Amino acid sequence: MPWLSTYTQSLTRTQAAHLLRRATFGPTAAQLRQFTGLKPAAAVALLLADQPTPTPPIDTTTGKTFVDLPFNNDLQTAHQTALKNWWLGLMINEGASVREKLTLFWQNHFVSTYATVSDARYLYRQLLLIRQYATGNFRQFVIDMTKDPAMLRYLNGNVNVANKPNENYGRELQELFTIGLGGQYTEDDVKAATRVLTGWADTGFRSTTSADITVAFRANQHDTGNKQFSAAYGNYVVKGRTGATAGDEELADMVDMILRQPETARFLIRKLYRFFVCTEITPAVESNVIEPLAKIYRDNKYELKPVLTTLFTSDHFYEESIRGAIIRSPLELLVGQFRFAGLKTPEHGTTAFNQLGDYLRGRAREQQMDVYEQPTVFGYPPYYDTGLDRIWISANTLALRSLFTDQFIRGQIRYNNVTYGLDSVEVVRALSNPGDPVQMMDELTDLVFAVPLSQSQKDFLIDQVLVPGLPRYEWPAEWNDYAQSPTNAKRMSVKIKLDNLFLFMYRMAEFQMS
Amino acid sequence: MTPVVLGGYSARAYGQTAFLDALASVADTNDRVLVLVQLNGGNDGLNTVIPLDQMSAYNNLRSNIAIKEDKVLRLTNTITTGLHPAMTGMRDLFNEGKMSIVHSVSYPSPSQSHFRASDIWFTAANSNQTLTTGWLGRYLDSEFPGYPDKYPSTAMPDPLAVQINYITSTSLLGPSQSMAIAIQNPDTFATLVGDKAAIDPGTTANTPAGRSIAFIRQQQVSSVQYAGQIKAAAGKGKNMATYPTSNSLADQLKIVARLIHGGLRTKVYYVSIGGFDTHATQTDATDTSIGAHANLLKMVSDGIRAFMTDLKMMGIDKRVAGMTFSEFGRRAGSNSARGTDHGVAAPVFVFAGEGIKTQFVGKNPSLTDLDGNSIKMQMDFRQVYSALLTDWLGETTATANSVLLRNFEPAPMFRQIVAANEDPLVTFGLYPNPAVDEVLMESELFGPGGLQSVQVVDMTGRPLSVPVERLQANTYRMSVRELPAGTYIVAVETGRRKLTNRLLVNR
């Protein structure tokens, strides 16, 4: 099997949809048209192109940004909401770019949460950092994240001082952020890393007088002794240093030590693979995909773009067995439906923008993916825990997923007199021959589902759902009648039939696959 | 019977008690229920159960978060062990004889990773082993084989396990899928999942996508099948006690009580509360008896207390036992941020409406004999599981062994223990003592029938196996070559009585 060799055929619509479902929160109809027919290399170059920094979040209550102001106790809930909704809005409105999907990946990798950090300005800074490095260099990313004010708060790096170590960050840096448990590092390595990291602290936390948020290294709080690491790191010693630059120097020394271990690159590549390609890693995938990609990552000094380019243009990525192999996350479901329907959010900063954001975050939360509020530092359980993406699915969450899709199709999501829903008639009208029930169903199911349906399933959808109890020729009769003289009444009669079809399709197990 | 614990030295009695006999006879049809209470994040055991006999070491290790001695809640029958001041509810349960404290629970080569340690507790794996099924999943699979295909059935029309959440725990993973139904709100569950599944079954390929699709379909079918039963039980069950408000654990337990009262035959319920990863500010700066950890313990204690009161008022408390657990304890020494880092052993609470016989299993952890800065293990968590499976749920030892993948001697909270110096007259000859390789046991009391059993336990109450042979009518020889040096209790049973003595092994 060719694995990572480059796939050079032009993308079919099905393949373009696959690429966009994985690399972004899902395609709009226009993006799908744009990507169909492109060579994979050209398509991936578009997806990886650098994006401009978005304008900061706006607090709806004041109509202004708040990230450059002192902390405001009275408005902290509003600011928290504004930040989370801002991010959700970027996911919905973004063009065909991997950035927002990678931002989510990295935020779930370097977890901090509002519930713990409780200063939205801090998390805004962290999100900017994540965006800056989303497709960039991991070495500098992990160094900067170690000193990030929100992270210093979330994992107590700010209270880790000489002789009074706090191991929280020193442990998670290794277990979760870099080498993983497979790195065989020891409890003594946790202690040694903790000593390397002593002395960093943030200033400006929830300050109501100053807008400045800074990070300082306090040399007098730093453990200046040598730090001996175990055989997992080749018995490397991070030499103890003194003075103002000691913290940065030792941190860089230690990060380089960790990144030299092949297991670090493997750990990161496995996580990316599970997020973007397939949660199952077979021994063949381990040796033919993970290992060579990890090598590419190391050889490129932990630059991510060469890795993603190889992965997204590989034969393996376009194999049929990979298509539809991942269960959609709640955000992929929610944001993906907005994009599928070609919807944008209301104008950023308006009341309707916030209302819609609150609604969608509420749905994401009940489906177990609360935005910027992972339950633990491990991130959302489906990305690490036994069962992986199947953890998203239970009797409850399935029902709640259907609750959302029902509301979306029935036009029940309305803010400021605008309905945010799926116009089923428009989706079908855009197909090549909507009046032919067989051709229409072939094209529609190809558009809606990541996996192909069987002929009997498609027949069932036509005969039992679209026109139940009627002969098939009733569909072209109804549709063509509407298409030739589109009155509201005729539109309504086809819309009822198509809405029923969508309600049913969105409750099928296949719909949960991405 | 009054539980007997003296100086923490305890040995487990082995004979069949009336209690065990009664249990054995109903093993196949018992209506007992098990409730798991997960404290997510690693609970600080040393500020939960406080060693009043070592307050100076305790204060030295954690001066910035130590609970003041005069604030520690006292328990009856002991002056050496107390509870966190927020735990009045569990103190009352303990004093009523309905709760057991199992000291210093962990496992060999403990992990201090949340993820890994949780998985070990969920799956009952060894530290170096990974398993893809949960211990409760395996228990339910042995009790109800063929799930999900053969269920609901006439004999078992209800969910095998219910978790009050949106998702189910790894503990409940069976061979093919979770053995539990996750319910957030029993009143709306039926409406939410719909009355019937309108799914075209189709066929699924043996690919990652195909297998997940089959899994999702099964979830759809299961939830719909059980919706009616849950709705009926929720309608029939009525809470009778007052539960604390703003207490997420109490909210969950309240639903559990209602479902049990409403007649669900579900065997296992699972509830959880998070926030125990207290690396910083676990106590208030000036008053260490309040703060984040105190609030969590109060929720746990008040919640469980209200739950047991409710069950009692419903008249069904004798059917219900529960245990709390957390993936690990925290360090004995605090950090400078008024927090504690990841540690090892911690106490487990087991509560039951009836059947608690031993209220302290093990003794207070020694604060002068730490492993690094962590509390050493006295009891393997699988011994607690083993006790719940056999002594509570009535499973056979063979079933418990297969669920836990090897034999774990049950922790003795449901059995009467014998104290070392319970009755100095009822003893027997044991020499040489101290012993090196062999000891002889002698007594006129052994009688013509000889000994029914011989048991050796170490000072933490852990039973050890040793070879014994009968030399003469009243003389037995026991090999102690395989025992590490230390102090042991030897307990023997004749046809009529139990005899104990203390043995020193010296090398």
The pLDDT of B341-348, averaged and rounded, is: 96
pLDDT at B108: 94
The domain boundary, picked from B377, B398, B418, lies at: B418
Q: Do B212 and A504 touch (CB under 8 A)?
A: no
Q: Do A395 and B337 touch (CB under 8 A)?
A: no
Residues B68 and B130 in one domain: yes
Question: At A415, phi and psi to the nearest 5?
Answer: -135, 135
Mean pLDDT taken over chain B: 85
Residue B337 domain-assigned?
Answer: yes
Asked whether the predicted pLDDT for residue B376 surpasses 90, the reply is yes
Among the residue ranges A17-31, A497-511, B2-16, the one predicted with the least confidence is: B2-16
Residues B311 and B436 in one domain: no
pLDDT at B499: 79
A31-75 residue pLDDT tens: 999 999 999 999 999 999 999 999 999 998 889 999 999 999 999
The pLDDT of A237-256, averaged and rounded, is: 98
When CB atoms are compared, the residue of B123, B209, B219 closest to A324 is B209
Residues B443 and B308 in one domain: no
Q: Do A396 and B184 touch (CB under 8 A)?
A: yes
Give the rounded distance of the alpha carbon of A253 from its chain centre. Answer: 31
Give the whole-angstrom CA distance, residue A208 versus residue B22: 67
The domain boundary, picked from B418, B445, B478, lies at: B418
Residues B364 and B492 in one domain: no
Residue B206 domain-assigned?
Answer: yes
pLDDT at B202: 62
Give the whole-angstrom CA distance, residue A355 versus residue A85: 9
Residues B407 and B430 in one domain: no
Asked whether the predicted pLDDT for residue A253 surpasses 60, the reply is yes
B160-172 residue pLDDT tens: 999 988 677 889 9
Domain that holds residue B436: 420-505
A374-387 residue pLDDT tens: 999 999 999 998 88
Q: B342, B373, B370, B335: which is closest to B64 by C-alpha?
A: B335
Q: Which residues of A touch B116 (CB under 8 A)?
A: 181
Q: Which residues of A touch B215 (CB under 8 A)?
A: 390, 393
How many other CB atoms are found less than 10 A from the CB of residue B132? Answer: 13
Residues B56 and B186 in one domain: yes
Residues B290 and B212 in one domain: yes
pLDDT top residue among B463 and B194: B463
Q: Any idea what the CATH number is for the domain that residue B471 is in?
A: 2.60.40.10
Q: Which residues of A touch B337 (CB under 8 A)?
A: 156, 159, 166
Question: At B83, phi and psi to the nearest 5?
Answer: -115, 160
Q: Do B178 and A399 touch (CB under 8 A)?
A: no
Q: How many domains does chain B have?
A: 2
Give the whole-angstrom CA distance, residue B12 versus residue B456: 9
When CB atoms are compared, the residue of B116, B208, B274 closest to A278 is B208
Asked whether the predicted pLDDT for residue A353 surpasses 80, the reply is yes
Residues B384 and B432 in one domain: no
Residue B3 domain-assigned?
Answer: no
Q: B99, B104, B71, B100: which is closest to B86 by C-alpha?
A: B71
Residues B320 and B433 in one domain: no
pLDDT top residue among B19 and A504: A504
pLDDT at B326: 96
Q: How much is the pTM?
A: 0.72
The domain boundary, picked from B418, B439, B456, lies at: B418
DSSP string of B96-134? TT-EEEEEEEE-SS----HHHHHHHHHHT--TT---SS-
pLDDT top residue among B468 and A92: A92
The pLDDT of A184-191, averaged and rounded, is: 96
pLDDT at B194: 57
pLDDT at B5: 27
Residues B356 and B489 in one domain: no
Residues of chain A with pLDDT > 70, as a percent, come to: 100
ipTM for the predicted complex: 0.90
Q: Do A367 and B213 touch (CB under 8 A)?
A: no
Residues B293 and B411 in one domain: yes
A415-473 residue pLDDT tens: 999 999 999 999 999 999 999 999 999 999 999 999 999 888 898 889 878 887 778 88
Residues of chain B with pLDDT > 70, as a percent, come to: 88
Q: How many Å lie between the alpha carbon of B383 and the closest alpha carbon of chain A? A: 24
Instruction: Copy the structure tokens of residue A125.
Output: 């800074």
The pLDDT of B484-499, averaged and rounded, is: 80
Q: Which residues of B touch A366 (CB under 8 A)?
A: 166
Alpha-carbon torsion angle A81, A83, A86, A90, nearest 10: -130
Residues in contact with A294: Cβ distance below 8 Å, sequence separation at least 6, in sequence order: A262, A265, A266, A268, A269
Residue B1 domain-assigned?
Answer: no
Give the whole-angstrom CA distance, residue B429 versus residue B442: 5
Residues B285 and B339 in one domain: yes
Asked whether the predicted pLDDT for residue B98 surpasses 60, the reply is yes
Instruction: Copy the structure tokens of residue A442.
Output: 């072939």
pLDDT top residue among B185 and B40: B40
B412-426 residue pLDDT tens: 999 766 443 334 445
Q: Which residues of B touch A161 (CB under 8 A)?
A: 336
Q: Do B213 and A450 touch (CB under 8 A)?
A: no
